[in-house]
Each structure stands twice: as C-alpha cells, then as structure tokens.
Amino acid sequence: MAERVLDVRNLKTSFHTAYGLIPAVDGVSFHVDKGETLGVVGESGCGKSVTALSVMRLVPEPPGVIEQGEILFEGKNLLSFSEHQMRRIRGNEIAMIFQEPLTSLNPVYTIGDQIAEAIMLHQGLSQAKAIGRSIEMLRLVGIPLPERRVRAYPFELSGGMRQRVMIAMGLSCNPSVLIADEPTTALDVTIQAQILRLMRQLKQEMGMAILLITHDLGVVAEMAQRVVVMYAGKIVEEAPVAFLFRRPWHPYTAGLLASIPQLDVERKRLHVIKGTVPNLADMPEGCRFNPRCPYADDQCRAYEPELQERDGRKVRCWHPLSQDEEGTSK
Amino acid sequence: MNTYVATGKNEKRPAKSKAYAAIVWHEFKKNKGALIGLGLVIFFISIGLLAPYISPHDPLLMNQANRLQPPSITHWLGTDEHGRDLMSRIIHGARISTTVGVVAVLIAGVGGVTLGLTAGYWKSADAIIMTMIDLLMAFPFLLLAIGIVSILGPSLTNTMIAVGIGGIAGYCRVTRAEVLRVRELEFVEAAHALGYSNARIILNHILPNVLAPIIVMVTLTLGSSILGAAALSFLGLGAQPPQPEWGFMLNSARSFVMRAWWYSVFPGLAIMLMVLGFNMLGDGLRDALDPRLKNMM
C-alpha cells in the first residue's frame, strides 16, 4: 500500500458565534497517499476550506477552534505541535496555494524576493542562492524569461502568471503535501487548463501529494484519483474518481453531476438541486441532506446515517442510489 | 468597502521602482500649492542648517543701546528689547523649530505606528490599546501637552516629548485602520501558510503596505507639531531664554506690540510660513502618493 502522507481522522472544527459553538467541519476523516491527488468537492460553505485551514492549523482562533480529531502528517499528529513547530511545517512540508492569485502576492516586493524569502527561511540558503533557486522555480512553472521576471512586481504579471508564481512559491521548499484551495477559480478557462496541466506535471516530477479543494467537478475529474464529497460539514461520499462520475451513490453527488451543463444534450433549463445548504446553526434532523433530497423518507428525516464503507467507497446515505438501480434493497 | 477593488488600484504603489517615483513627481509638479510648500520647507530647512554661516549677527549678543530698533540696513528686521538682531534670532529659530518638529513627529510616529500595528494585528491587544488611545484623544492637545510638560518640567526636550505623545493617537488610528484592511488580504494569509512568524509578517509584509498614508501624515503633522511646540514655548513651557525660539519670541514681544510691531510680526510670520509650507507640501504629497485619498480625507 502506498505511503500515507496525510491522514485526517475525525476532525471537528467549530466556530464561536452568536448562536453558540457551531461545527463547520464535523467528524471528517480522509487520507492522502504519496503522489496522489485527493479532490474535495462541495458547495460554498460546506466546510472544504475550513478543512484545509485546519490541516495547516490556520483556522483563526478565536473564533475558531479545532475541537477534536487527529491530523497525522507522516505519522505525527499536527494538532499536538506547538505554533513554533507548526511554522516549520507550513510552507516547508505542507504548502498551500490560494484562490486569488491577484491578491496572494505582496504588491511591494518583487516576485523573486517573495519566493526567496520562503527559501531563505526554511532552507537557510543565502540570498544569492535563494534568488538563483527562485529563477529555477520560475522556469519550472513555465514563466518565460525567468531571469528578468524575477525582478518583476506582481502588478506587472497577469493572473495566470501570478498563480504560476504562487505555485512556484508553494513548491520552492519541496513540500510533501500541496493544498490547493480553489487554485483555478479566479482564472479564465484557457488559463485554468494550463495551470491544471502544470500542477499535474509538477506532481509527477516532484512526487508530492495534492489536496485539491474545489467546487468544480470538471477540475476534479481531470486532476484527482479519489474524491471526497462534502455537504454541510460532513463527508457524504468518498470514491475513486472514475466510479464517482460513472455511478454516484449519494443523491447529493448525483445532483451535483446532473447540474453540470452538457453541450450534447438539449435542455431548456439547467438542473438545480432544490433549496440551499442548511444554516450550520440550524441543521435539519436526521440526514442533513433530507430537505433537498428527492428520495428522502421518514427514516432519513429521523435518523442520521453513518458513513458506510463498501467496495472501496464510502457513502453516508440510507438509500444509496446504486442499490436502488440494481434493486438489491428497498 | 470592497478591498479587492481597492488593491487593484494600489497596484501603482511599489515604492521602490524608479517609474513610480517619476509618476509621483509628475503628479506633484502639477500642483502649484505643493511646489510653493516644498519651496518654503526647503527655504526654512536650509536657513536652519546654515544658520551659523548666514545670520548677520550673533543671535544672543545683547546691546542695550540698540533696544527695539526698527528695521534698518544693519538690522533688516529690527532688534528686540535686549538689542539682539531679530533676523539672526529668527534664522536660528528655524533650526530649533525644525528640530522640534522632526523629533516630535518621530516620537509620535514610532510610538503611534508601533501601537497601531499591534492593535490592528492582534485582536486581543486592540481593545486595550484603543481604549488608551481614546483616553489620550479625550484631552485637548494643548492641555495634554501642558500637563506632560508640567510633570516633566519646562524645557525644549520635554516640549518635544509632550508634543510627540500628543501626536501618538493620530498615527495609531491611521495605522490600525490600514492594518485592519491589509491583514485581510490574501498575501497575509499566504504568508501565514508559508510559515512566517508574526513579527516577520507585521514588519516585512504589513508595514510596507500601510506606509503611504503614514508618510502623508508625517508631512501634515510636522506643521502642527511645530505650531504646538511654538504654543508651548509661548506659554513659557518650552524653550527657555535666551534660546531664540519663535513662540517664545512672540511671548516676549507681547509687551511691545504697540511700540515695536516688527518684534511680533516677523516671528509670527516665520511660524505661519513654515507651518503653511509643511501643510501645503503634505497636501500635495497626499494627492500625488495616493489619488484615492483625494476624496476621502
């Protein structure tokens, strides 16, 4: 079995609000193997970003608090680390890239200085060597004329270029895990494809694991080996990517897949999942998806299902779709 | 306000590049008032620096035979009640006023910016620091300065300290407000994700991004600090005789207003022109450095 770089177990991250302590991530478990890409999908507010921030221990405290769980990075529990130890992990062992390449770079420094700062801090290189390594990284992420660009300020670069710089910065210290939080959402489609291709290629060259957080199923299909689908702070389905797309088990996943507009099917209206994500402070009884689920029955409204494992995939549903279709239950 | 849009406009800000300096200078040049201000400031700073070489007489040399002489060829601006040359005293006063202004602003700036960075960055420190600042602001500036000087004792040094402390609140508020905006930008989050320490994030990443309004504030408060120090000296709490301080000269001139107009007019004019110069320079610099602020301040 492949080496587990990151193993998150039963993570619960809550926030203090006017309504009390509200869990944003509630008992989430997943793992990422070496060289693997795990996609985490879900609507806005389902807890994907909070999960990512929890792994980095960057949830603002207060109001946030990681209530329980374990985050094992190469076997060590990050939740037991001191802030000081954590700083050596961040950027060095686990790197993160963000959604907004336009504002993720400091406008007053050249990009070379910014990449070099991380390298000097974590690898203890001299400034000259760190700048040399920055140029190397810029070349690696496909920035033309890296010797000149290294002296450019962020405003001199386009959005796609800046995201490449962010990737270069994230990878400059050879991390084992790269957390990408919506890395392509702010970019236009052609640039998206370039950035995704770049990330895939770099993953192969450098052998890191990627935790890819996105709401875009297309990105997941292209990048990930396995997918975790989150809904209202919980994992509702986990499966290898091909299985998930061919045959989703959870009605929510099925709804998400049906919502993707298809060019070859003529349709007057786009498919939508009725309703909205429930307020975290006011969760429905039973299955959290039941008010929006076309298949919900009394059992769904009364009892919350567990995440059940079968055939190498997991689903949190009383009536998984596959069984309906195959007629094995109900 | 939408921070995203705001930073989009900030993109002209990288203060190091030559092109940026050229843009600022180009903007600055268009403003007549700013150029006049710059001229006045340069004028007063140069006469302050060159005071020992350009003043026609010894500013401290008394000559009772020459008391309260009106302006003449030998004493261009007349003499005071001890027969000292007024022009020489005003020239040396420029040196004192500039120093007082700079030192007071330095105290206010360093203190205020440090407090502002702390309050803006750490929410836990915010309430304590801002309550203190609010308390500080509850006192009228002059009353506060008088209080501090009466505790420390009247002298020029203590005037600088008093005026400096009085200016802390303004710097703290401006810095804090800017930090609150900048700390939410993604590059700060990215800096955390790169494992940077709080000190590194504050000094290397937040401070350079909040500097523009602080620079503007320096030029604007230089004028008011000079005025404040002159006011304290006028009240006898600052410069002590025989130091040729403008505010104190005005105080001495009070008794002779009817007999020797030049004695109160010229030091008063000097204070007015210097403060005016700094204020016009500050306004111009503000408009040139940050066009967004034109409509805000």
Express each pLDDT in A268-310 by its tens digit. 777 778 777 777 777 888 888 888 888 888 888 888 888 888 8
pLDDT of residue A59: 87
Q: In the A/B pair of chains, how many CB contacts fall below 8 A?
A: 84
Both tokens assigned to B41: 């400031």
pLDDT of residue A322: 67
State pLDDT tens for residues B68-122: 889 998 888 989 989 999 999 999 999 999 999 999 999 999 999 999 999 999 9
pLDDT of residue B157: 92
pLDDT for B2 beyond 50: no
Global ipTM: 0.82
Interchain contact, A58 vs B13, CB within 8 Å:
no
- Among A88, A108, A166, the residue with its CB nearest the CB of B14 is A108
Is pLDDT larger for residue B20 or for residue A307? A307
Contacting A with CB below 8 Å, chain B residues are 4, 7-8, 10-17, 185-187, 189-197, 200, 204-205, 208-209
3-state secondary structure B218-272: HHHHHHHHHHHHHHHHHCCCCCCCCCCCHHHHHHHHHHHCCCCHHHHHHHHHHHH
pLDDT for B5 beyond 60: no
Q: Whose structure tokens read 């406009």?
A: B9
Q: If you average pLDDT over every residue of chain A, what do you get? A: 85
Residues of chain A with pLDDT under 50: 324, 326-330
pLDDT of residue B17: 53
pLDDT band at residue B14 using 50, 70 and 90 as cut-offs: very low
Tell me the nearest-neighbour CA distance from B63 into chain A, angstroms: 59
pLDDT of residue B291: 58
pLDDT of residue B294: 46
pLDDT of residue B178: 93
Q: For chain B, say whether A117 makes contact (Cβ under 8 Å).
A: yes
pLDDT of residue A288: 86
Q: Cα B228 to the chain's mean position, in Å? A: 10
Closest CA relative to residue B12, chosen from B296, B221, B289: B289
| Rg of chain B on CA atoms, in Å | 22
Distinct helix (H) and strand (E) counts, chain B: 13, 0
pLDDT band at residue B13 using 50, 70 and 90 as cut-offs: very low
- Among A56, A105, A107, the residue with its CB nearest the CB of B13 is A107
Could you give the angle at the alpha carbon of B91 between the alpha carbons of B90 and B95, nearest 5°?
A: 105
Tell me the nearest-neighbour CA distance from A205 into chain B, angstroms: 22
pLDDT of residue A309: 84
Tell me the nearest-neighbour CA distance from A127 into chain B, angstroms: 16
Q: List the domains of chain B with CATH numbers.
A: 24-57+76-296 (1.10.3720.10)
